[in-house]
Every structure is written in C-alpha cells, then in structure tokens.
Structure 1
C-alpha cells in the first residue's frame, strides 16, 4: 500500500525528531511522555490550549475540559508552535499567522499518526475499519484519523502518477502523451483533476488566491 507514498520535508523532520528521542511505537505517543522527552513544561487548566513563552522559556497549557484524544491533538498543535514558530501572532501579518496555523495542522497530522508506525500495523481492507483502527491505536479522534488516511491516499496516488510520468519520460519509445497512459493511470489523473477543480492539492491543502 505504501510503496509510492512520498514524505514531505516536515514529515521527515518529525520522524527524525521522534527517532532521536526513542519514540517508535504508538503507545509512546502520550502528552507527558513526549513533553518530558522534549523538556517542555505542560500543564492542564480550564482554559483554551495554548503555547506560552516567558523569558525565552516555553510551556504549553492544555484545556482539561477536552477529551483525552482532543487534548493530545491540541498538544501536538501547540507543540509545533513551540518547536517551529516564534513571535506573538497578535502582532503578525495575517498571511503569516495563516501559514503558521497551516503548518501546525500538518504537523499535528504527521506527529499524531507517523507513517513509520502506521506501516507496522496490519490494516483491514475497508476504509471505515482502517479509520477506526487508527483512531484507537493512536488515541486520536475519528476526524483526525480520517483526515490522515485521506492525506495518505492522495499522497500514494500522486506517487503513482509521478512514477508513471517518470517511466514515460525515460522511455525512448514513448512520450508523455495521455494516449499512452494505462487505464489505471487515466483513472488516477481524472481523480487528481477533480481534486484540482476543488482547489485541493495532493497533500490535502486548499489553495486560495493571494
């Protein structure tokens, strides 16, 4: 299933971070375990989850009114801000704030359901069963499991199309001509075109005019 899956630089960075700190299994993906390994003070109050900086030191508050799965997802979102972003969003240009939030959303998906760990799990055939399994195995909401699975499927589809393109361009007897595509490739290209018309990339991000 994952032969043509292509990781992004952000995804590779997260995988390297986890590997560096010995985080290799889903049961290690817990707030206090990850916070301890990364030396980030984390606490729980009845207020919205947020990352806080004081005198150059960072901490994360998690809204304890949320479910355990929602708390974990909030933690990962705020963790991205701690590890990758700086500055006060209240004083930032709107487009930069939007970029940080999109980056944190992607970070959340990759960090909550690392591809290296998913590959180690026997997955059922039905999509609904896969989402249920991922939700329970990685302690995430069904919504996040569904979003990650759809992202993975798009990435695999893009990888297959890229592979087909490479084969066609490397062949001396064929050119990159839709007439030469296999039935499977034509079907995949049709799906990609549908995604483009909806304004969604292979990575699942919506594209908006600047």
Structure 2
C-alpha cells in the first residue's frame, strides 16, 4: 500500500481547489492567474517577491523553454506560498533549507503523485513519457521518477515490517516466582474489593 506524504496530499488538494486539470494545456499562467500571482520576465534571477501586498514571481529571461520556466515557477511558487521576506537576507543554513524544500515542492507540484498513479507505464524507460506528459526536462523527470519509485519501495518495506512484527508477549504469571505470584494475587484481591480489575498484561 502506498502511503502519501503530507506534501503529496497538499499538492493534490491545491490542484483540486484551483479547479485545474491536465487537459487545460500549459498550466503555468493558469496557475498564476488563479492564485493571483503576477509573472514577470527580466534579466534578474528568478525569485518570488511580495510588493505592496501582491505576490510576484520573476522568471529569468534566460529560461527560454516552457519546461525550464515551469520547473522554476514550481520552485518559486513554494517560496510564494510559504516563505516571508527576502531570501537573500536569511542566514545561509536557513536559506539552504528553504531551497531544498522549494526544490522538493517543485518536483511534486510539476509532476504530482495523484497524476503519476494514473499513468499507463511503458515497458521500457518511463522518463521520456513523464517529461513529455508533464512538460518538464528529462533530468527533472528522471529525478522525480526515482523519488516516486523510492517511495513505493519504502511503502512495501513498511508493509512487510508491519506484517512481520510479532504479537506482544502475554504476561504468564505461572512462570513467575512464588513470591511474585503471591504479591500479584494479593494486589488483584485488593483491587477486586474496590470494584476494579487487574489485567496482568498491562504490567508489561
């Protein structure tokens, strides 16, 4: 059984709230419009900014293909939705953490799990199919596919561990010393007089 992460659930919910389907064609501008984010193209590095209360994402003009723009938009969208303030002013460790989270978000947002689950997988290499279907670059598709497969393997391992876990041992008072049995029976009798019950297994 595949166990989805909070991020996977969040991305699926976000797409549903936006009312977007993958039949809408290129989604970049459509997503930006529905979240009320302005898209700019300039020589400046790609970044998400909040100016006068309005969120803006600048996509560097050197990002010529839609695939590069879409992947970068997914990255900057994470900053737009979660981060507050100028990333350049953050301490380096915190900035690095935000960047890793943004990259992971981009992988899930541009190639969401709920769509991967519905794909008809080819017998051979699936990377070209994913790259074409989700309009991303081949390296991006390869990284996401590896991530998805690793999650499937981990879920299978978790299931096997759960099935293989032995049942907790029962508390067999007859195997205890005579003194232990005497004390336990005395305690049980005292609790019975108070209208309470003693379950030996609860003492493990």
Fold-level match, TM-score > 0.5?
Answer: yes
What pairs up with 1:2-81 in 2 under 5 angstroms? 4-25=1-22, 27-28=24-25, 30-66=27-63, 67-81=65-79
Pick aligned residue for 1:155 from 151, 156, 159: 151
Partner residue in 2 for 1:178: none
Gaps of 5+ in 1: 174-210
Note the C-alpha offset of 1:30.
1.8
C-alpha separation between the residues in 2 aligned to 1:6 and 1:95? 30
How much does 1:65 deviate? 2.3
Counterpart CA distance in 2 for 1:170 and 1:143 is 43
> Taking structure 1 as reference, are residues 169 and 26 closer, same or farther at Cα in structure 2, changes over 3 Å only?
farther
Rounded to whole Å, the distance in 1 between the matches of 2:74 and 2:10 is 14
State how far apart, in whole Å, the 1-side matches of 2:26 and 2:166 are: 43
Larger radius of gyration: 2
**Distance in 2 between residues matched to 1:29 and 1:167, nearest whole Å:** 44
Partners of 1:37 and 1:5 in 2: CA distance? 30
Q: Distance in 1 between matches of 2:166 and 2:149?
A: 26
Q: Which has the higher contact order (CA 8 A, sep 6+)?
A: 1
Pairing 1:132–2:128 present = yes
TM-score of the aligned structures, taking structure 2 as reference length: 0.76
- Residue 57 of structure 1 deviates from its aligned partner by 1.8
Task: Give matches, 1:42-191, under 5 Å.
Answer: 42-66=39-63, 67-126=65-124, 128=125, 130-169=126-165
Q: Is the 8 A contact 1:23 1:29 kept in 2?
A: no
Deviation at 1:28, TM superposition (A): 4.7
Residues 170 and 95 (structure 1), Cα distance of their counterparts in 2 relative to 1, 3 Å cut: same
CA 1:33–1:168: 2 relative to 1, 3 Å = same
Q: Does the 8 Å contact 2:38/2:57 carry over to 1?
A: yes
Residue 77 of structure 1 deviates from its aligned partner by: 0.6
Q: Secondary structure at the match of 1:24?
A: coil
Partner SS, residue 59 of structure 1: strand
- Number of equivalenced pairs: 168
Task: Judge conservation of contact 2:49–2:86 (CA < 8 Å) in 1.
Answer: no
- Give the Cα–Cα distance (whole angstroms) in 2 for the partners of residues 85 and 14 of structure 1: 17
Normalised TM-score (structure 1): 0.74
Unpaired stretches in structure 2, ≥5 consecutive residues: 170-204
Aligned to 1:206: none
Equivalent residue of 1:98, what SS?
helix
